[in-house]
């Protein structure tokens, strides 16, 4: 079985289903050309082994940069699914088709006990430390 994303006229994903190619081609779920195959195991342009979550030895399985989700945009020129832009200041990485903050996440994120957490502040375009509740 494969995963398919239904794309509307604006290129936005409205549905994601599991089906065989011949079922999509039959028109049972509407016009076949509104459906684009997506790979559940593809993220950032890389394919991950579904058993181990490690990078697959066979990267030819990577499909359309990212697994599609409702609200993603299908960019036909890039042949890629792009998630919604989380903040106006974030920039699209052309290689992964993922959004990146204009400022790198602090290196100590996830370290310590409890792990240090940050959240993005769009107003200041910076990462703010999240204070843990006591």
Give residue limits of the domains in the chain. Answer: 2-84
Q: Mean pLDDT across the stretch 26-45?
A: 97
Q: pLDDT tens-digit profile of 64-113?
A: 999 999 999 999 999 999 999 999 999 999 999 999 999 999 999 999 99
Across 50-88, b (16+ Cβ under 10 Å) vs e yields eeeeeebeeeeebbbbbbbeeebbbeeeeebbbbeeeee
pLDDT at residue 37 greater than cutoff 80: yes
pLDDT of residue 133: 61
pTM of the predicted protein model? 0.89
Q: Average per-residue pLDDT in the chain? A: 96
- Give the separation between CA 70 and CA 65, rounded to whole angstroms: 15
Residue 134 predicted with pLDDT over 60: no
């Amino acid at each position: 079985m494969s995963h398919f994303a239904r794309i509307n006229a604006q290129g936005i994903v409205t549905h994601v289903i599991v089906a065989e190619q011949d079922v999509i081609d039959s028109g049972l779920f509407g016009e076949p050309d509104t459906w684009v195959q997506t790979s559940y195991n593809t993220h950032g342009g890389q394919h991950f082994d579904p058993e181990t979550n490690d990078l697959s030895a066979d990267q030819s399985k990577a499909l359309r940069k990212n697994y599609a989700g409702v609200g993603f945009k299908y960019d036909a020129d890039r042949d890629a699914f792009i998630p919604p832009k989380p903040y106006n200041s974030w920039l699209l990485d052309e290689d992964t088709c993922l959004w990146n903050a204009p400022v790198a996440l602090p290196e100590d994120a996830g370290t310590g006990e409890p792990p240090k957490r940050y959240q993005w502040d769009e107003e200041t375009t910076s990462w703010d430390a999240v204070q843990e509740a006591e």
